[in-house]
Amino acid sequence: DAGITQSPRHKVTETGTPVTLRCHQTENHRYMYWYRQDPGHGLRLIHYSYGVKDTDKGEVSDGYSVSRSKTEDFLLTLESATSSQTSVYFCAISESTGNSPLHFGNGTRLTVT
């Protein structure tokens, strides 16, 4: 299994509060991604990173920011959580942009009340 750890695994927070989710990898892969999974939508890309301090927006980036100060860590921040951000969040890593699949962590279930 790819060495990907997401923390926390579960979180309940109130609307309007800031939340940060962490993804830590031990594979030294250059590319990291944040996806959210919602019923009827599959997995949708929020943000991704192609190197330290290099990030870009995905399909559903509004309301989210990311940071990557070290190769192994990719943080997802909800500046002011809303109920629409209740979801399961998955971090993924990829070795390259060649024909290299994504490998996922076990997810963080976030509930915004």
Partner 1 sequence: DQQVKQNSPSLSVQEGRISILNCDYTNSMFDYFLWYKKYPAEGPTFLISISSIKDKNEDGRFTVFLNKSAKHLSLHIVPSQPGDSAVYFCAARVPNTGNQFYFGTGTSLTVIP
Question: Using CB under 8 A as the criterion, which residues of the chain lie in contact with partner 1 when the complex forms?
Answer: 4, 31, 33, 35, 40-45, 48, 50, 56, 58-59, 90, 94, 96-97, 99-107
Nearer CB in complex with partner 1: 17/28 = 28
Residue 35 amino acid letter: Y
Count of H-run helices and E-run strands, the chain:
0, 11
Q: How far is the CB of 81 from partner 1 (least distance, A)?
A: 22
| Nearest to partner 1 of 83, 97 (CB atom) | 97
Nearer of residues 30 and 63 to partner 1, judged by Cβ:
30
Q: Which is nearer to partner 1, 24 or 44 (CB)?
A: 44
- The string over 44-66, giving b where at least 16 C-beta atoms fall within 10 Å of a residue's C-beta and e elsewhere, is ebbbbbeeeeebeebebbeebeb
As measured in angstroms, the least distance from the Cβ of 46 to partner 1 is: 11
